[in-house]
Amino acid sequence: MATEMDHQIVRDLKAAGIDYVTSVPCKQLAGVLEVLDDEASILHMPSNKEDEGMGLCAGAYMGGMRPCIVMQNTALGVVVNTLATLIQFYQIPLPMLISYRGEVGEPVACQVEMALHTKAILNQLHIPTYHFHKPEDAAELPGILEYAQMASKPVAILCDASFWRASA
Amino acid sequence: MIRNDVFQTLKPIIREHLVVCNIGAPSQELHAMDDQPSNFYMLGTMGLASSIGLGLAAAQDKPVIAIDGDGSVLTNMGTLATIGNNAQGNFTLLIIDNGSYGSTGDQPTYAGMKTDLAAVARACGAENVQTVSAQDTAAAVKAAIASDEMTIIVSKCESGNVKVPVIKTNPIVIRERFMEEVRR
């Protein structure tokens, strides 16, 4: 069941001109994905793996669309090469809406392992990173989306369990 | 016929169209043979030519030809399910299937053994999948571009590369001139 926050996030994507979204699901992103599927002005084309999804986004961008990828932080372990050699090398603006599993409130111990590497990987790749911990942090989203386009860079928006719980 | 021979026959058919070309030897051979601003060369990231091609085809109406390889499709096999479930009439995926990893020393791929990529593509939901000989590839690609149906062509050719230089064009230049062709 989508929350008001899920709707707000999709409204912000739409307002920023995002018209193509690919995703690999996460429990924390279920509401956003539900809203996306009902949003006629955004083409939602799910992918099977996040590097594949970034390929789709690169193509959509070169075709004149404005893409965004919705994914889980564990996938940063999958996409390092694609971020460096496709998205960054060819300077493709790509907001990444990322569920930040493994933070406080996480029920699954294994998720903590990639949470420990999440910001380190993003830092290593010099990717502008924003961390939504409280519902009011989401007010920054429109600015972040505009920034990604301006800079022609991938940008990470990490949304942790506290953010999703307090937004419910 | 090896990949480069197939490219020679394809040259007059694809040069006017948007082409997304696989990393390594395929991009280098195409670049050396007939560099066009309408070619997007993958300089890095193995396996994503078909994904980029699908995204590009979904975003605009011009025909798009993604030239991939059997090894690259194997490394991103989920792409066939995405393509099969999101058919774009302006999209042609050409898989140059020479049964080997051409850019890394012609090591054998599973596609040259028991794995049938055309059968995988069909099982993934793609409705128009053809396996063709190297000789028949150009005619098949021409027909695919002319048709309104998404087509996946598996071109069976021999393993081997020609000696050509690496691509030194700046990636932003490759992307910018390609996007200009998209907008034209």
Whether B52 sits inside 8 A of A62 (CB atoms) is yes
Task: Please give, rounded to a whole number of angstroms, the shortest distance from the CA of B123 to a CA of chain A.
Answer: 16
By C-alpha distance, the chain A residue nearest B176 is A62
User: Do A91 and A152 form a contact (C-beta atoms < 8 A)?
Assistant: yes
Nearest residue, CB atoms, B52 vs list A45, A55, A85: A55
Between CA B83 and CA B14 the distance in angstroms is: 21
Task: Please give, rounded to a whole number of angstroms, the shortest distance from the CA of B93 to a CA of chain A.
Answer: 14
Whether A58 sits inside 8 A of B76 (CB atoms) is no
Question: At B16, is the secondary structure helix, strand, or coil?
Answer: coil
Top CATH class, B3-183? alpha beta
Rg, Å, chain B Cα set: 15
Whether B58 sits inside 8 A of A20 (CB atoms) is yes
Task: Please give, rounded to a whole number of angstroms, the shortest distance from the CA of A111 to a CA of chain B.
Answer: 24
Question: At A71, is the secondary structure helix, strand, or coil?
Answer: strand
From first to last of its 184 residues, chain B has per-residue pLDDT tens of 999 999 999 999 999 999 999 999 999 999 999 999 999 999 999 999 999 999 999 999 999 999 999 999 999 999 999 999 999 999 999 999 999 999 999 999 999 999 999 999 999 999 999 999 999 999 999 999 999 999 999 999 999 999 999 999 999 999 999 999 999 9
Task: Please give, rounded to a whole number of angstroms, the shortest distance from the CA of B39 to a CA of chain A.
Answer: 12
User: Do A80 and A140 form a contact (C-beta atoms < 8 A)?
Assistant: no
User: Do B129 and B152 form a contact (C-beta atoms < 8 A)?
Assistant: yes
User: Do A44 and A23 form a contact (C-beta atoms < 8 A)?
Assistant: yes
**Domain edges within chain B:** 3-183
Q: How many folded domains does chain A comprise?
A: 1
Beta bridge partners of B20: B40, B66
Q: Which two tokens stand for residue B130?
A: 């053809």
Among candidate residues B41, B53, B51, the one with its CA nearest the CA of residue B75: B51
b/e code B117-137 from CB counts within 10 Å (16+ = b): bbebbbebebeebbbbebeeb
Task: Please give, rounded to a whole number of angstroms, the shortest distance from the CA of B61 to a CA of chain A.
Answer: 9
Q: Looking at the complex, does the CB of residue B102 fall below 8 Å from at least one CB of chain A?
A: no
| Chain A residue set in contact with B, beta carbons under 8 Å | 20, 43, 45-49, 51-65, 67, 81-82, 84-86, 89-92
pLDDT tens column, A109-144 = 999 999 999 999 999 999 999 999 999 999 999 999
For residue A82, which residues of chain B lie inside 8 Å, CB to CB? Answer: 45, 48
Whether A90 sits inside 8 A of B45 (CB atoms) is no
Beta bridge partners of A48: none
Q: Which two tokens stand for residue B39?
A: 């070619």
Between CA B111 and CA B165 the distance in angstroms is: 27
A37 class by beta-carbon count within 10 Å (0-12 exposed, 13-18 middle, 19+ buried)? middle
Q: How far is CA A72 from the centre of its chain?
A: 8
Q: Strand A129-132: give its sheet, edge to edge.
A: A43-44, A20-23, A67-72, A94-100, A154-160, A129-132
The CA dihedral of B82, B124, B97, B48, to the nearest 10 degrees, is 10
* pTM confidence score: 0.98
In B49-170, which residue ranges form alpha helices assigned H by DSSP? Answer: 49-59, 70-75, 78-85, 117-123, 137-146
Beta bridge partners of A131: A158
For A27, which DSSP code?
G
Instruction: Give the rounded percent of residues in chain A with a pLDDT score beyond 70.
Output: 100
pLDDT tens column, A30-41 = 999 999 999 999
**CATH number of the domain residue A156 falls in:** 3.40.50.970
Between CA B178 and CA B161 the distance in angstroms is: 25
Assess whether pLDDT exceeds 90 at residue A7. Answer: yes
Whether A58 sits inside 8 A of B52 (CB atoms) is yes
